[in-house]
Amino acid sequence: MVRVLLAIWAGKLAGATLRALGRAGTHVPGIIARKVHPGIIGAIAHPPRVIAVTGTNGKTTASNLLAAALAAQDQRVASNRNGSNLAAGVTATLISAVDWRGRSRVDVGVFEMDERSAKLILPGLRPDVLVGLNLTRDSIKRNAHPAYIAWILSSAVPSTTTLVLNADDLLVAGIGGDDNPRVFFAVDRMPTDGDRPSGAAVDVTICPVCDHGLTWDYWRYNHIGAAHCEACGFRSPEAAYRAREVDAAARRVVLDLDGETRTAALVNENIVNVYNQVAVAAALGVLGFDRDTVAAAFDELAPPETRFMTDAVGSTRVVRILTKGLVGVACSRAFDYLRSFPGRKSIVLSIDEVSERTADVENTAWTYDADYDYLADDSIRQIVVGGIRRHDQALRLAIAGVDPERIVTVESETDTADVVTLDGIDAVFNLHSVHNAELTGTPVQARLRARLADREAATR
């Protein structure tokens, strides 16, 4: 117990020092605490209820939505809402959730967890609920095939944890052991779905039981959809929680909530965020909240602005989307959403890997796991690419069929906002990565808005 308290005190003092110096350092207290007590995640007092959220894409948004929904129900929530999701970040959040005597001072902990770090986190954290969103191709610099990541999760999850899993992702739907209770969520077939996979990355094609080829009831993207095997009868799990009748114009969605139906506000029409919403609904249901409370939880919720934001300046929309560099599937989802957005569009594209500015070297092979051909759509009038890898991005765009006359390269990521055309455009898109969200995404957004405001003022 003495060592636990020493780790807590060391972490709290480190956090207080960083705040006094005006620094964030969201994971540093956890690094220090783990030096003092390597097993601190399991030894420290946990909140009475612990929920972990993991997956390749959407875990920051989903965990933030879940934390906000619980806080709206007068729950005292501890959450690593800034996305510090490795073992050190989870440790820092656990330390913030106890007092100086090591006693929990919150009602619930919501922990975003990097899926690759499951073995370092899950055995000690012992979550009551683990939400699994998806498992798709991630950075080839740190992850293997997503089936390997599913194995890591399965080998680390405690048998007492209730699993809330995406039935439309056969990799994530299969994690865990025989003893784990499972609850599934899904999104019903949509008008844009197909019946056979296509695109740059498809990671599930054969039956996990008998190795015959799968037949798709509906296919959405990558390996996301509903499938069955005609040889052995295997099929995607039945989901107790479903999103259906997604009405982007009215910003409403019909939710099936374990046998009852409710209409709720649509948090965001991007399909990844539709999955995030129904995952949150399923988690709230598993936690015991009634159906009306679950549906009403979405009335005031929205994705974090650094992940997604759309507003208008005059008649022009300004859309900001997190587009995870090094993760082809995540980029494909952003590109597909952009293509489907109505009207004439121009794009600022800044999805470099920030570490390359210092000492690292980015492997650009990931760009060929992304469906850049979505950006060859005639509604996209111009793409301005900034950053160190601008020429690699321009080449990839040209290979994908984008007219080179529509591609502009700029050395500075932020100067892109001054170069992109706004004339005759209905929407301008600001695509940035996780690592440059504040450094690039925020100033680009501000500059685009200022340019549009100046143009509006000049026309009055």
Give the pair of three-digit tokens for residue 12: 């709290």
Q: Tokens 């899926």 sit at which residue?
A: 115
pLDDT along the chain (460 residues), means of 10: 93 88 80 96 97 94 95 96 88 96 97 96 98 90 87 97 98 96 97 90 92 96 96 97 95 96 94 96 97 95 80 94 87 93 96 62 82 96 94 96 97 95 96 89 96 89
User: Which strand (E) or helix (H) includes residue 162?
Assistant: strand 162-166
Give the CB-side neighbour count of residue 386, counting CA atoms within 13 A: 24
User: Which strand (E) or helix (H) includes residue 163?
Assistant: strand 162-166
- Burial of 190 (C-beta count, 10 Å sphere; 0-12/13-18/19+): middle
Q: Tokens 């992109």 sit at which residue?
A: 420
Strand partners, 345: 380, 427
Give the pair of three-digit tokens for residue 26: 């969201």
Identify which of 247, 293, 308 has the alpha carbon closest to the alpha carbon of residue 62: 308
Residue 435 confidence (pLDDT): 82
Give the pair of three-digit tokens for residue 39: 């097993």
Whether the CB-CB separation of 414 and 443 falls below 8 Å is answered with yes
CA dihedral 408, 414, 418, 419 (to 10 degrees): 0
CA distances, 137 to each of 37, 220, 264 (Å) = 34, 16, 31
Helices and strands in the chain: count of H runs, count of E runs: 14, 17
Measured CA to CA, the distance from residue 230 to residue 438 in angstroms comes to 49
DSSP state letter for 169: B
Please spell the DSSP secondary structure of 23-78, one letter per residue.
---SSHHHHHHHHH-TTHHHHSPPPSEEEEEE-SSSHHHHHHHHHHHHHHTT--EE
Measured CA to CA, the distance from residue 425 to residue 381 in angstroms comes to 8
Measured CA to CA, the distance from residue 242 to residue 267 in angstroms comes to 15
Identify which of 411, 340, 352, 402 has the alpha carbon closest to the alpha carbon of residue 376: 402
Measured CA to CA, the distance from residue 14 to residue 170 in angstroms comes to 42
Measured CA to CA, the distance from residue 325 to residue 367 in angstroms comes to 9
Angle at 141 between CA 138 and CA 143, to 5 degrees: 45
Residue 297 confidence (pLDDT): 95
Please report the sign of the dihedral spanned by the C-alpha atoms of residue 198, residue 322, residue 188, residue 167: positive
Over 235-294, what HEC string results? ECCCCCEEEEEEECCCCEEEEEECCEEEEEECCCCCHHHHHHHHHHHHHHHHCCCCHHHH
Identify which of 303, 273, 341 has the alpha carbon closest to the alpha carbon of residue 57: 273
Residue 361 confidence (pLDDT): 63
Identity of the residue numbered 350: S
Angular region, 211: left φ>0, alpha ψ -120 to 50, beta rest: left
Whether the CB-CB separation of 375 and 335 falls below 8 Å is answered with yes
User: Measured in whole angstroms, how far is the alpha carbon of residue 369 from the centre of its chain?
Assistant: 18
Residue 208 confidence (pLDDT): 93
